């Protein structure tokens, strides 16, 4: 099955609003058509509306880096799924390892957020991945299978098909140390197998799986050549327009 590639930048807590707007202007006209590839920038939430307006009528799409699972209530500082959808945001990263490590996200909250995303017609990019210790002790498969199984708990087949999974080995994030394309493909293949066991082959073949962890213009093509890798979630290298565009080019 041909799955449409998806390249998503995760800016984390970087850039000022004016830098974000300049970036959007610079890349806007150079983004491939949505028929060919999905191209997304997950920016700090307060940039999203302005960027979305600037990118209107272009294929560049915006995503949030997290959200709450409730649509309203006494959750000081949080952002609701409904408010993201209301300003035209299409994607949301859920369960990034930095959120899991520093902001107490668990498989249970990740699962609630997956349901909340679909409720508001947002496409979730659900992150999973093992620590260096877990890798060295041979627990990659166990950890990743569990994160995917718990994250997808209770999703319908139609929802599961639309979900995006980002396999991000934690030891590769922001370290310059990329997983080999073979190893990344193996774990992405395992994720597909888990989804097949949870649903069926058709669903597993529909889900798009990204690799993330020190993706750069130099390594994107060798990753994208692999059977189970449908795109990338890119941190550091998405911050500069030229390297983000080079990654998009290499992913075609």
| Chain residues in the site for ligand PEP (CB under 6 A) | 10, 168, 173-174, 212-215, 233-237
- Closest contact distance (angstroms) between CB of 223 and ligand PEP is 12
Report the alpha-carbon angle 40-45-46, nearest 5: 120
Task: List C-alpha distances in Å: 118 to 124, 163, 176, 181.
Answer: 8, 9, 33, 31
- Closest contact distance (angstroms) between CB of 71 and ligand PEP is 26
96 in catalytic set? yes
Q: Which is nearer to ligand PEP, 140 or 203 (CB)?
A: 140
Residue of 52, 96, 105, 228 marked catalytic: 96
Q: 78, 50 in Cβ contact below 8 A?
A: no
Query: Binding-site residues for substrate, please?
Result: 10-12, 174, 214, 235-236
Q: Which is nearer to ligand PEP, 154 or 176 (CB)?
A: 176
Compute the distance between CA of residue 67 and CA of residue 19 in angstroms, rounded to an integer: 23
155: closest CA among 188, 187, 116?
Answer: 116
Position with the least CB separation from ligand PEP: 235
Q: Which is nearer to ligand PEP, 199 or 211 (CB)?
A: 211
- Closest contact distance (angstroms) between CB of 53 and ligand PEP is 25
Task: Return phi, psi of residue 78, to 5°.
Answer: -85, 165
Q: 187, 142 in Cβ contact below 8 A?
A: no
Residue of 105, 130, 168, 228 marked catalytic: 168
Task: Return phi, psi of residue 41, to 5°.
Answer: -115, 125
168 in catalytic set? yes
Residues forming the active site: 96, 168
């Amino acid at each position: 099955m041909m799955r449409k590639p998806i390249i998503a930048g995760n800016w984390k807590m970087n850039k000022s609003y004016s830098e974000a707007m300049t970036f959007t202007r610079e890349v806007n006209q150079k983004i491939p058509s949505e028929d060919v590839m999905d191209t997304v920038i997950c920016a700090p939430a307060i940039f999203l509306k302005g960027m979305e307006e600037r990118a209107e009528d272009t294929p560049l799409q915006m995503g949030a880096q997290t959200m709450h699972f409730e649509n309203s209530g006494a959750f000081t500082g949080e952002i609701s799924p409904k408010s993201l959808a209301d300003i035209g945001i299409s994607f949301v990263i859920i369960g990034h390892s930095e959120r899991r490590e520093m902001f107490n996200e668990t498989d249970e909250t990740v699962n609630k957020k997956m349901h909340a995303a679909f409720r508001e017609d947002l496409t979730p990019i659900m992150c999973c991945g093992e620590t260096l210790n877990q890798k060295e002790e041979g627990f990659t498969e166990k950890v990743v299978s569990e994160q995917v199984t718990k994250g997808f708990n209770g999703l319908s087949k139609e929802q599961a098909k639309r979900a995006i999974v980002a396999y991000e080995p934690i030891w590769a994030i922001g370290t310059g140390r990329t997983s080999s394309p073979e190893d990344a493909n193996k774990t992405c293949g395992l994720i597909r197998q888990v989804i097949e066991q949870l649903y069926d082959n058709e669903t597993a073949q529909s889900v798009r799986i990204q690799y993330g962890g020190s993706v750069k213009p130099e390594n994107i093509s060798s990753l994208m050549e692999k059977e189970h890798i449908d795109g990338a979630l890119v941190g550091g290298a998405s911050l500069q327009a030229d390297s983000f565009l080079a990654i998009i080019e290499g992913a075609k």
